[in-house]
Amino acid sequence: MEFNQYDVVKVLEIHNPEKLKGCGSGIGYSSPKIGDIGTIVEIYTDPFLGYDIECSDEQGITKWLTTFQPSEIKMELV
């Protein structure tokens, strides 16, 4: 599936356990979790395809902002 900038997505799987630990792979006060809803804020194509996904809380504060390669995450449009 092809995703676009500003698509809202639901995290179904995360294939890189380091992303779950919040090991400095992004910003925010939480780590990505299965079931989180986020927005694709940037798409990279060079040197590889990647997505910056931001998940915010009810007040609009960033819970996490992390870059994923397609092989690291399974997501669906919301």
Residue 70 carries which DSSP code? G
Asked whether 64 and 51 are in contact (CB, 8 A), the reply is no
Number of domains observed in the structure of the chain: 1
Give the pLDDT confidence of 45-63 residue by residue, as tens digits.
Answer: 999 999 999 999 999 999 9
Answer whether residue 69 is part of any domain.
yes
> Whole-angstrom Cα distance, residue 43 to residue 57?
22
> Whole-angstrom Cα distance, residue 44 to residue 48?
7
Give the pLDDT confidence of 16-35 residue by residue, as tens digits.
Answer: 777 666 544 578 888 899 99
Answer whether residue 1 is part of any domain.
no
Q: Please name which of 4, 27, 31 lies closest in space to residue 17, comparing C-alpha atoms.
A: 31
Asked whether 75 and 6 are in contact (CB, 8 A), the reply is no
Structural domain harbouring 65: 8-77
Answer whether residue 2 is part of any domain.
no
Residue 55 carries which DSSP code? E
Tell me the average pLDDT of the chain. Answer: 90
Answer whether residue 3 is part of any domain.
no
